[in-house]
């Protein structure tokens, strides 16, 4: 085979292109910190990385749902805690009002304070998390409790929410209810209100206020209201205990998912991240090879017939 100067130049150029391509790949590893940038680099590692990324995305979604659920449960627990504090004050007022030494005017003063507690209770019942009412079920865009007035006094509180159970996926295949639903949904078509566990608190406060200001005063009516206050407090504490159990469950799940995310990130890093020490060493080697090729090929390409005639 006859080797011409053109063939030598072509071989030289092809060799430099090959070395330059290898150098550019190593440079890309150094810049991105990734050892794979296309499936052909390592098909198995690419497949692994995709699987790890999908699982990481699923974990991030679960953590977001858990965070939203925890915020809702925290807000609900805070509202119930406020309601328990309010009932604790109502209990003290009931004990005070049951004292036979009090006169009608003094009992009327206690009744006024109980009426103030009733109004606060309605406000707590209409608490919101963001733009959503906590105790409205699926009708969370409308205040669930509406006070019914006779004159300037609340005589009843109607529930206009429903019994919609708000479920959130804490992790794949596992759902948890985050709201306290009504026992009976309101029927807007017939104008019939529903019932919610908090309705018992409102009814108790209405009865306590009315018993304190009744003429003639009936001691037993206040005693019955006092017993109902205690019952309501126990019921609210049971609701708070259930919320606490859910919060603990979500916290445990969150920690488990976070630990899993750490492990998946490590596996993802092992699959696609480059060993920078090796990359730097390889980069120096490729740079040296490429520069050497440039020096040698510069002489080959620049040679002509005149160089041989000298």
Element spanning 8, H or E: helix 5-32
Q: Cα 101–103–108 angle (5° rounding)?
A: 125
Residues β-bridged to residue 133 = 128
Secondary structure class of 192 (helix, strand, coil): strand
Contacts of 127 (CB under 8 A, 6+ apart): 75, 78, 79, 133, 134, 135
pLDDT score recorded for residue 34 = 65
**Do 179 and 165 touch, CB atoms closer than 8 A?**
yes
Beta carbons of 201 and 208 less than 8 angstroms apart: no
pLDDT of residue 51: 85
The pLDDT score that the predictor gives to residue 309 is 47
pLDDT of residue 3: 53
Sign of the C-alpha dihedral computed for residues 272, 279, 32 and 38 taken in this order: negative
**C-alpha distances in Å from residue 20, one per residue of 7, 15, 198, 287, 292:** 20, 8, 76, 9, 12
Q: What is the pLDDT along the chain (310 residues), one digit of tens a residue?
A: 555 556 656 665 666 667 656 656 665 655 565 666 666 666 777 777 778 788 888 889 899 999 999 999 999 999 999 999 999 999 999 999 988 888 889 999 999 999 999 999 999 999 999 999 999 999 999 999 999 999 999 999 999 999 999 998 887 788 899 999 888 888 878 888 999 999 999 999 999 999 999 988 899 999 999 999 999 999 999 999 999 999 999 999 999 999 998 998 888 776 666 655 665 666 567 666 666 666 666 665 665 544 544 5
What local confidence, expressed as pLDDT, does residue 199 receive? 95
**Which pTM does this prediction carry?**
0.77
Handedness of CA 227, 229, 233, 236 (dihedral sign): positive
Strand partners, 34: 273
pLDDT at 306: 44
Element (H, E) at 222: helix 219-272
Angle between helix axes 43-97 and 197-213 (nearest 10 degrees) is: 10
pLDDT score of 47 = 76
pLDDT for the residue numbered 53: 83
């Amino acid at each position: 085979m006859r080797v011409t100067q053109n063939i030598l130049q072509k071989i030289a150029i092809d060799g430099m292109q090959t070395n330059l391509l290898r150098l550019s790949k190593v440079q890309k590893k150094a810049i991105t910190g990734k050892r794979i940038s296309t499936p052909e680099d390592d098909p198995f590692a690419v497949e692994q990385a995709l699987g790890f990324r999908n699982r990481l995305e699923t974990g991030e979604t679960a953590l977001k749902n858990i965070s939203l659920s925890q915020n809702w449960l925290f807000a609900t627990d805070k509202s119930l805690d406020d309601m328990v504090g309010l009932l604790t004050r109502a209990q003290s007022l009931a004990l005070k009002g049951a004292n036979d030494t009090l006169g009608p005017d003094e009992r009327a003063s206690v009744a006024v304070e109980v009426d103030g507690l009733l109004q606060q209770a309605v406000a707590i019942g209409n608490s919101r998390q963001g733009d959503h009412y906590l105790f409205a079920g699926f009708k969370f865009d409308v205040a669930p409790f509406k006070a019914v007035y006779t004159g300037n006094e609340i005589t009843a509180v109607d529930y206009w929410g429903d019994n919609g159970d708000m479920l959130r996926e804490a992790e794949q295949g596992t759902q948890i209810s985050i709201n306290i639903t009504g026992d009976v949904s309101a029927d807007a078509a017939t104008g019939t209100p529903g019932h919610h566990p908090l309705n018992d608190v409102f009814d108790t406060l209405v009865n306590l206020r009315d018993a304190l200001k009744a003429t003639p005063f009936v001691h037993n009516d206040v005693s019955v209201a006092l017993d109902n206050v205690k019952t309501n407090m126990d019921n609210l504490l049971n609701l708070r205990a259930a919320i606490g159990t859910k919060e603990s469950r979500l916290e445990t799940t969150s920690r488990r998912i976070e630990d899993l995310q750490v492990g998946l990130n490590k596996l993802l890093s092992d699959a696609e991240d480059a060993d920078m020490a090796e990359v730097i060493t390889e980069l120096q080697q490729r740079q040296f090879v490429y520069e050497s090729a440039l020096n040698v090929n510069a002489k080959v390409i620049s040679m002509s017939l005149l160089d041989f005639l000298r």
